[in-house]
Structure 1
Amino acid sequence: MAVHAQELEDLLRESFPDAEIVVEGNDGVHMSAMVVDESFRGKNRVQQQRAVYAALKGKMDGTDGDLHALALTTRAPE
């Protein structure tokens, strides 16, 4: 089942309510997301991306995931 950009943004918004979030892509399988959130401050890129993947609640879990590829940009606000 394909994931729509709004669904992806809604999942991210649950975990990062105050974040700047931009989700792009319209095929439901290959998408990109930018998440800028204060909770990322002091965390390295791997820690930030793990937090985002956790927020996706299994949407990218191997062959069972709905989303095949996500180009992800994460950072703390400047």
Structure 2
Amino acid sequence: MPMPIEALEAALREGFPDAQIEVQDLAGDGDHYKARIVSPAFKGLPRVKQHQLVYAALKGRVGGELHALALETSAPA
């Protein structure tokens, strides 16, 4: 079952309340998204660890309700 964009945004905002978050539905099917997240939580962390934090915030939805998620993560400049 697809994940509505609102549910994805809500989960990301819950996990990163102080972040700038932009989500795009890449295919219009609720299964393929791109998220850009700029959060102080990522400061000093390698990209792999940043992405692991995002996956943790999504609580197992990636690979289930959420088929594909392209990520761009960074700390504020």
Give the TM-score normalised by structure 2: 0.92
Counting only pairs closer than 5 Å after superposition, residues 30-41 of structure 1 correspond to structure 2 as 30-41=32-43
**1:13-49 superposed Cα distances (whole Å, 9 cap, x missing partner):** 1110010000110311111101100010000000000
> Are residues 1:28 and 2:25 paired?
no
The residue aligned with 2:46 is 44
- Equivalent residue of 1:42, what SS? coil
Structure 2: gaps spanning 5 or more residues: none
Deviating beyond 2 angstroms after TM superposition, the runs of 4 or more aligned structure 1 residues are: none
Partner-residue secondary structure (3-state), 1:6 = helix
Tell me the SS of whatever aligns to 2:76. coil
RMSD between aligned residues:
0.9
Aligned identity (percent) is: 53
Aligned length: 75
TM-score normalised over the length of structure 1: 0.91
- SS of the residue corresponding to residue 37 of structure 2 reads strand
